[in-house]
Amino acid sequence: MEASRDDITFEIAAVAARLVAEDGLEYAAAKRQAVKQLGLPTRTALPDNTMLEAAVREHIDIFCADTQPVELLALRELALLWMERLKAFRPHLGGSVWHGTATRHSDLYIQLFCDDPKAPEWALLDHRVEYHPGTVNGWRGEPVEALTLRTRCDALGQWVLVHLMVHEHDDLRGALKPDAQGRKPRGDAAALLLRMAESAETPGLDKTAS
């Protein structure tokens, strides 16, 4: 019997979730790779990010339940370290480390908000931190300057990529608007510490939806 469109979409989500959790792929790349691995046409309908995130959580719950909480904590502690170093630029953490679906293969995504877009670069140079400049799409689809660096995570015994997205000072209000699921899309150091405390009280995969 030919698989239904919904079945195919869920299958893509399941394969993409494994690629996200175990290989550290971003959602868009994971979806494309899943379609390729399944031998499907390139124009096959893809799962949306909400479906994929649910699949990632399910994959972690089934295959990584013993290791993921420890890895998430290590990455959040590393994020706090960099947020402290960059506190002059109002850092806010987003991505899987904020939402609680990160594994040891995940990168850190930190948004910075400042009047001078070059100030974070000067700060990195002053501390002799090597970085690579680039451009990514912001939450409104606009080009945003990104500074990518590599930092050691001793708790995981590996290197981790940190992506610093540099925004204008006044963009912060828009950055805190709830996402499509009604959740906070990112948070500052105080919000992250609160989230970590809540996770410590309820061990296991961080299912925070706020």
69 and 203 Cβ atoms separated by less than 8 Å: yes
Q: Residue 209 has what pLDDT?
A: 46
Domain span at 132: 68-201
The most distant pair of C-alpha atoms in the chain lies apart, rounded to whole Å, by 63
Q: Which residue has the tokens 């945003």?
A: 144
Number of domains, the chain: 2
Helix 49-63 with 5-23: angle, nearest 10 deg: 60
**Res 195 pLDDT > 60:** yes
Average pLDDT of the chain? Answer: 91
* Position with higher pLDDT, 179 vs 133: 133
Do the domain assignments include residue 89? yes
Query: 210 in a domain, yes or no?
Result: no
72 and 141 share one domain: yes
The closest alpha carbon to 12, from 29, 34, 32, belongs to 34
Arithmetic mean of pLDDT, 178-199: 92
Q: What is the pLDDT of residue 182?
A: 86
Helix (DSSP H) and strand (DSSP E) numbers for the chain: 8, 5
In this structure, are 117 and 191 located in the same domain?
A: yes
Q: Is the pLDDT of residue 204 over 80?
A: no
The half-sphere exposure of 147 on its side-chain side, counting CA atoms within 13 A, is: 20
Higher pLDDT, residue 1 or 39: 39
What is the percent of the chain with per-residue pLDDT over 90, rounded to a whole number?
79
**CATH number, domain with residue 165:** 3.30.460
**Last residue within a domain, chosen from 20, 48, 63:** 63
Q: Please say if the pLDDT value at position 60 is more than 80.
A: yes
Checking if the pLDDT of 92 tops 80, the result is yes
Q: Tell me whether residue 207 is in a domain.
A: no
Under the banding of pLDDT at 50, 70 and 90, the label for residue 1 is very low
Write the pLDDT tens digit of every residue in 3-58: 577 789 999 999 999 999 999 999 999 999 999 999 999 999 999 999 999 999 99
203 pLDDT higher than 80: no
In a domain, 193, yes or no: yes
Average pLDDT over residues 117-138: 93
- The answer to whether residue 154 is domain-embedded is yes
Domain boundary among 38, 63, 88: 63
Better-scored residue on pLDDT, 90 or 183: 90
Q: Where are the alpha helices (DSSP H) in the chain?
A: 5-23, 27-37, 49-63, 68-85, 95-99, 119-126, 172-175, 189-201
SS3 at position 93: strand
Q: In this predicted model, which residue has the larger pLDDT, 130 or 142?
A: 130
Domain match, 92 and 175 both = yes
Q: How many CB atoms lie within 10 A of CB 114?
A: 19
Q: Which of 13, 47, 63 is the last residue of a domain?
A: 63
Closest CA to 29 of 8, 41, 7, 12: 12
Q: pLDDT-derived band of residue 206, with 50, 70 and 90 as boundaries? A: low
- Judgement on whether residues 73 and 156 belong to the same structural domain of the protein: yes
End-to-end CA distance of the chain: 41
Mean pLDDT on 99-106 = 96
